[in-house]
């Protein structure tokens, strides 16, 4: 991963933390009673948890580890090298192998990225999901963790998810030349946005193997979500928290959702390319132990590194896959339904379910048992406050239910306690409505749609019923009105929303904030402000745009061209090239004269030769005195 160089602290002792799961593991699902109390016949209900559980269980640690090993055993694979090309061929082979030819990987773009698309029923008329990682490494490093761990996770999810047909397209991206500046992913992100590929979510996987041993199991892998530049809960936070929900309900929580502004390395991996291109629905899966990773960007970044933990990485990948499967398993015209089965739960023991809410709705909790029993259902909101508690009595083979109106987006907790006097088997069914795409409409009332094409519910966009927002640009800043209203939050009637002298489109293209005046900043410390660089045409994040070893600011201040390599030019005719004048502190536009150049240089050469000859004579003919 291209990021700020962390403090590399030697860490020699690792404590392995094991947490035993209470008797809530999910065996094979039996047939459920068909007398569901809300009047629905269970045989006609589609449960989103069924396929999500299958995906979670299908992700294999052995397969994941083998993929990391195979890729890293190729050795270092910097962009442009033969090893990099070999890695590309290997990835293409795995895509074909894992999907039995159902998916064909394509090498695309100037940086030889690889894109594989699992086609859907809706195609371009619906949104898409993407999972991605970069396959290049730095020179001298086999890149097992950076980023073989992400490539292996992407391939493993391709292997598992390709066994099904989904309502929306799923893309698998393998980015190249990440290490020198996110070049591959930047190219594809812009292309996808220009082609109006509506990304419902992009999960970026980069460095998963080094976990912080002192953290609890539930916080081993960070799942960072975009929360700046106008990103809403539905854009990314929903998806990050959903990985925690899936881990809890199907196995073990290992992912820790964190907002992007709390993750120091947020800007240094490929999801940042998509955020810059205009996408807000980006999530970044990243290890928690980066500061302990002494193998980072070294020859020790091998798959067999004893500090690497494949268990937590695999569970994180499984949670991501289950999240995608869960969200895409909703049924048209139906509320969301989840079901869980528990066996031999002891008296006063309880099971804990998490459920991710995304709209104001009634949350139904239904408990069924094959024999009579009593249960206490307790519900906690995302703030950890208990909001409901009810005792249910279940007559054998029947269902007892409770319902709560919820109005806060986020993760709710549902505890079901066995209050009977004996161990008992029971099933829990949750039902509620969702708003996964964040259009403020219950998903049960509309179906998947491409947001570039409209709002999906027959209404107008932002009250502009007479204007095609996607194709209109009223301030002529090359950003469509739709992008300004819904993506960037900028003023569609003003091409410089923050009035800092820099056009909104330019700020967005280079990664500045069009809502905050930053014209006086100098991020590359070259002596030119952002506004000066914008006016001159230099790179705001490269202090030497023309790569002539002379900083842009010095060139501009001394009348040189920062966009042209003029290091060897001599505009003042004093026999000193511009590069020499820069290093010597002279002015390239002022003739410094022969006395300042030729004579001092000649004298210095004569003195150097004389001293050298003198020492040589002394060593050869010198005698020790008595």
Higher pLDDT, 135 or 614: 135
Distance in angstroms (rounded) separating the CA atoms of residues 420 and 373: 6
CA–CA gap between residue 151 and residue 135 (Å, rounded): 6
Split at pLDDT 50, 70, 90, the class of 593 is low
Query: What separation, in Å, do the N-terminal and C-terminal C-alpha atoms of the chain show?
Result: 68
| Mean pLDDT computed over 177-191 | 97
Element containing residue 160 per DSSP (H, E):
helix 149-161
Q: Which residue has the higher pLDDT, 92 or 332?
A: 92
Q: Are strands 221-225 and 255-259 parallel, antiparallel or unpaired?
A: parallel
**Residue 400's beta-bridge partner residues?**
367
For residue 36, pLDDT over 60 is answered with: no
The better pLDDT of the pair 594, 321 is held by: 321
Regarding predicted confidence, which is higher, 207 or 125? 207
In degrees and rounded to multiples of 5, residue 565 shows phi and psi of -70, 100
pLDDT (mean) for 620-626: 52
pLDDT for residue 42 is more than 80: no
Rounded Cα distance between 285 and 21, Å, is 24
Farthest CA pair distance, the chain: 119
Cα 503 to Cα 499: distance, rounded to the nearest angstrom: 9
- CB of 308 closer than 8 Å to CB of 145: yes
Residue 515's pLDDT is: 87
For the cut 70, the answer to whether the pLDDT of residue 458 exceeds it is no
Q: Give the model confidence (pLDDT) of 376-426 as tens digits.
A: 999 999 999 999 999 999 987 788 999 999 999 999 999 999 999 899 999
Tokens of 250: 């199907």
Model confidence band, residue 247 (pLDDT cutoffs 50, 70, 90): very high
pLDDT at 46 over 80: yes
Mean pLDDT calculated for residue range 296-309: 98
Residue 332's pLDDT band (boundaries 50, 70, 90)? Answer: confident
Radius of gyration of the chain (CA): 30
Is pLDDT at 128 greater than 70 in this prediction? Answer: yes
Listed ranges 163-172, 447-456, 506-515; the one with the highest mean pLDDT: 163-172
What's this model's pTM, rounded to 2 decimal places? 0.69
Region 299-311: mean pLDDT is 98
**Which DSSP string do the residues of 450-519 spell out, in sequence order?**
-GGG--SSSS-STT-TTS-TTT--TT-SSS-HHIIIIII---TT-S-TT-SSS-HHHHHHHT--TTS--T
Most confident of 317-326, 333-342, 605-614: 317-326
Tokens of 508: 């967005």
In this prediction, residue 516 carries a pLDDT of 86
Mean pLDDT computed over every residue of the chain: 87
Encode pLDDT of 536-586 as tens digits: 999 999 999 999 999 999 999 999 999 999 999 999 999 999 999 999 999
Determine the Cα–Cα distance for residues 397 and 494; give it in Å rounded to an integer: 65
* H-only helix segments in 1-81: 48-58, 61-72
Q: What does DSSP say about strands 113-118 and 106-108: parallel, antiparallel, or unpaired?
A: antiparallel
Structure token digits, residue 513: 């904030």
Is the pLDDT confidence value at 308 over 90? Answer: yes
The pLDDT value recorded for residue 491 is 86
Residue 600 is predicted with a pLDDT of 56
Torsion of CA 309, 312, 314, 320, to 10 degrees: -140
- CA-to-CA distance for 284 and 223, rounded, in angstroms? 6
- Rounded to an integer, the average pLDDT of 232-260 is 98
Instruction: With cut-offs at 50, 70 and 90, classify the pLDDT of residue 12.
Output: very low
Query: Rounded distance, CA 441 to CA 263, Å?
Result: 32
In 3D, which of 338, 327, 331 has the Cα closest to residue 238? 327
Percent of the chain with pLDDT over 90: 73
Query: SS3 string of 373-441?
Result: EEEEEEEECCCCCEEEEEEEEECCCCEEEEEEEECCCEEEEEEEEECCCCCEEEEEEEEECCCCCCCCC
Chain position carrying tokens 């798959």 = 303
Report d(CA 466, CA 471) in Å as an integer. Answer: 12
Strands 199-205 and 282-287: what pairing?
Answer: parallel
Confidence of residue 459 (pLDDT cuts 50, 70, 90): very low
* Nearest one of 287, 237, 234, 290 to 260, comparing CA atoms: 237
593-604 average pLDDT score:
55
Percentage of residues in the chain having pLDDT higher than 70: 84
Whole-number Å distance between alpha carbons of 437 and 415: 28
Could you tell me which of 566, 529, 530, 570 has the C-alpha nearest to residue 547? 566
Is pLDDT above 90 for 488? no
Question: Of 58, 67, 95, 66, which is closest to residue 152 (Cα–Cα)?
Answer: 67
* Residue 266 to residue 146: CA distance in whole angstroms: 15
Cα dihedral across residues 247, 253, 254, 259: positive or negative: positive
Residues 117-137, mean pLDDT to the nearest whole number: 94
Average pLDDT over residues 311-319: 98
User: From CA 345, how far away is CA 417, in angstroms rounded?
Assistant: 9
Q: Give whole-number Cα distances, 422 to 245, 344, 374, in Å.
A: 29, 9, 10
* Average pLDDT of the segment spanning 37-55: 74
Q: What is the mean pLDDT of residues 109-130?
A: 93
Reported confidence tier of residue 484, pLDDT bands at 50, 70, 90:
confident
């Amino acid at each position: 991963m291209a990021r700020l160089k962390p403090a590399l602290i030697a860490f020699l002792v690792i404590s392995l933390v094991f947490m035993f799961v209470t008797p809530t593991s999910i065996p094979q699902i039996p047939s459920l009673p068909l007398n569901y109390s809300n009047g629905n016949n269970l045989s006609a209900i589609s449960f989103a948890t069924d396929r999500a559980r299958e995906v979670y269980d299908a992700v294999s640690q052995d397969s994941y580890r083998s993929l990391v090993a195979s890729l890293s055993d190729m050795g270092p694979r910097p962009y442009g090298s033969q090893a990099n090309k070999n890695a590309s061929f290997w990835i293409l082979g795995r895509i074909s192998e894992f999907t039995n030819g159902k998916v064909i990987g394509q090498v695309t773009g100037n940086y030889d990225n690889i894109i594989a698309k699992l086609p859907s029923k809706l195609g371009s008329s619906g949104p898409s999901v993407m999972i991605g990682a970069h396959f290049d490494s730095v020179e001298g490093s086999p890149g097992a963790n950076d980023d073989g761990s992400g490539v292996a996770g992407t391939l493993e999810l391709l292997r598992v998810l390709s066994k099904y047909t989904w309502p929306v397209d799923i893309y698998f991206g393998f980015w190249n030349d990440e290490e020198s500046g996110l070049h591959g992913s930047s190219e594809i992100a812009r292309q996808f946005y220009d082609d109006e590929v509506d990304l419902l979510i992009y999960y970026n996987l980069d460095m998963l193997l080094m976990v912080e041993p002192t953290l609890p199991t539930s916080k081993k892998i960070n799942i960072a979500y975009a929360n700046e530049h106008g990103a809403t809960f539905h854009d990314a936070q929903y998806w990050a928290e959903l990985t925690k929900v899936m881990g809890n309900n199907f196995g073990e929580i290992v992912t820790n959702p964190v907002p992007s502004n709390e993750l120091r390395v947020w800007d240094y991996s490929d999801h940042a390319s998509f955020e810059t291109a205009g996408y807000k629905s980006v999530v970044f899966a990243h290890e928690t132990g980066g500061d302990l990773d002494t193998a980072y960007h070294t020859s020790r970044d091998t798959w067999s590194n004893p500090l690497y933990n494949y268990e937590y990485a695999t569970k994180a990948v499984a949670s991501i896959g289950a999240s995608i499967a869960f969200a895409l398993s909703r049924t048209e015209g139906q509320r969301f339904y989840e079901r869980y089965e528990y066996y031999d739960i002891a008296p006063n023991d309880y099971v804990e379910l998490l459920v991710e809410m995304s709209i104001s709705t009634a949350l139904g909790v239904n408990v069924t048992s094959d024999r009579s029993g009593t249960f206490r259902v307790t519900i906690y909101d995302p703030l950890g406050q208990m909001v409901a508690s009810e005792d249910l009595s279940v007559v054998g083979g029947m269902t007892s239910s409770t319902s709560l109106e919820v109005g806060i987006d986020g993760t709710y907790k549902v505890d079901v306690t066995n209050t009977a006097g004996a161990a008992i088997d029971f099933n829990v069914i949750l039902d509620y409505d969702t708003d996964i795409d964040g259009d403020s409409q219950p998903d049960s009332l509309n179906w998947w749609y491409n947001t570039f094409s409209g709002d999906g519910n027959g209404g107008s966009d932002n009250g502009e019923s007479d204007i095609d927002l996607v194709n209109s640009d009223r301030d002529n800043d090359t950003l469509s009105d739709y992008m300004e209203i819904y993506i960037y939050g900028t003023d569609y009637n003003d091409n410089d929303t923050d009035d800092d002298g820099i056009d909104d489109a330019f700020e967005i293209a280079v990664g500045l904030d069009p809502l905050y005046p930053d014209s006086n900043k100098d991020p590359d410390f070259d002596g030119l402000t952002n506004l000066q660089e914008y006016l001159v045409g230099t790179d705001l994040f490269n202090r030497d745009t023309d790569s002539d070893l002379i900083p842009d600011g010095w060139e501009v201040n001394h009348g040189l061209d920062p966009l042209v390599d003029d290091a060897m030019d001599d505009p003042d005719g004093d026999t000193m090239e511009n590069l020499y004048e820069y290093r010597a502190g002279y002015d390239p536009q002022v003739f410094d004269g022969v006395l300042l150049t030729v004579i001092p240089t000649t004298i210095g050469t004569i003195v150097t030769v004389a001293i050298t000859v003198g020492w040589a004579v002394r060593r050869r003919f010198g005698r020790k005195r008595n």
